[in-house]
């Protein structure tokens, strides 16, 4: 029971902090919309072409936005010493880290779901694919936060860890990118998507169980 309280206390603290800082929520979201706006400017505005590459655009932008926001996941805790206190807590660090990841997703992943209809509008995604897009974002963005947490935990002690972190994390994002964008693709063509969705559900469950432990171990390594 008290483990749950510790978990919730971490989530609540990070949510309050995010609302007091505000830019932490707004920046990744604006970044996401901005990249998506850049694509039509880069490849041309033919509706057919845009519709064809829309799933890829949305998901690549989601990966980049996740990367951008991840840097702040442990940074301020590392700088002000809260991370030390987190590690000294008698509760398992992996659970507390999961709390931080949960808060991070609520602050940066969830808003992507809310602006998905706007993206569909910008890129001309059909209405029948919108539901699939939402579902892949719902299943995929937590995986981005979970896997990303390991990368940040490994690099948080380094002065210029940001670039290195993307090298560590982006290759691991490949499966999410493939299954999510192909699901949206299929849905646009009116084909069934249950295979991709099932795989994404299992990836999410796997990540939920397997990532907090290495993230916690990596934090212990970074703190020394």
With 0-12 / 13-18 / 19 or more C-beta atoms within 10 angstroms meaning exposed / middle / buried, residue 208 is middle
Taking CA atoms, 69 is separated from 85, 132, 202, in Å, by 23, 24, 25
Which of 122, 156 has the CB closer to other proteins? 156
- The minimum distance between CB 175 and other proteins, in angstroms, equals 4
Which of 7, 105 has the CB closer to other proteins? 7
- The minimum distance between CB 34 and other proteins, in angstroms, equals 26
Instruction: Give the binding site for other proteins (CB under 8 A).
Output: 2, 5-6, 8-10, 13, 16-17, 20-21, 76, 79-82, 84-91, 96, 150, 154-155, 157-158, 161, 164, 167-168, 170-172, 174-175, 178-179, 182, 203, 210-211, 214, 217-218, 220-224
Encoded tokens for 220: 């212990």
Which of 13, 33 has the CB closer to other proteins? 13
Question: Are 179 and 200 in contact, with CB atoms under 8 Å apart?
Answer: yes
Encoded tokens for 91: 């509760």
Which of 43, 158 has the CB closer to other proteins? 158
- The minimum distance between CB 217 and other proteins, in angstroms, equals 6
Runs of H (alpha helix) within 22-71 = 23-43, 47-70
Encoded tokens for 210: 């397997």
């Amino acid at each position: 029971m008290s483990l749950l309280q510790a978990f919730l206390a971490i989530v609540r603290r990070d949510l309050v902090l995010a609302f007091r800082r505000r830019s932490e929520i707004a920046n990744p979201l604006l970044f996401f919309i901005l990249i998506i706006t850049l694509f039509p400017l880069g490849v041309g505005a033919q509706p057919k072409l845009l519709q064809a590459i829309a799933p890829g655009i949305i998901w690549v932008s989601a990966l980049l936005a996740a990367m951008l926001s991840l840097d702040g996941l442990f940074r301020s805790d590392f700088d002000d010493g809260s991370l030390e206190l987190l590690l000294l807590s008698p509760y398992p660090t992996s659970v507390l880290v999961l709390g931080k990841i949960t808060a991070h997703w609520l602050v940066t992943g969830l808003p992507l779901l809310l602006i998905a209809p706007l993206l569909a509008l910008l890129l001309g995604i059909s209405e029948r694919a919108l539901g699939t897009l939402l579902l892949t974002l719902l299943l995929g963005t937590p995986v981005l936060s979970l896997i990303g947490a390991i990368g940040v935990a490994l690099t948080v002690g380094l002065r210029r860890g940001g670039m290195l972190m993307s090298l560590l994390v982006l290759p691991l994002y490949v499966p999410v990118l493939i299954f999510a964008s192909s699901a949206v693709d299929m849905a646009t063509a009116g084909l069934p998507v249950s295979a991709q969705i099932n795989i994404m559900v299992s990836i999410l469950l796997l990540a939920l169980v397997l990532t907090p432990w290495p993230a916690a171990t990596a934090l212990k390594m970074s703190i020394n």
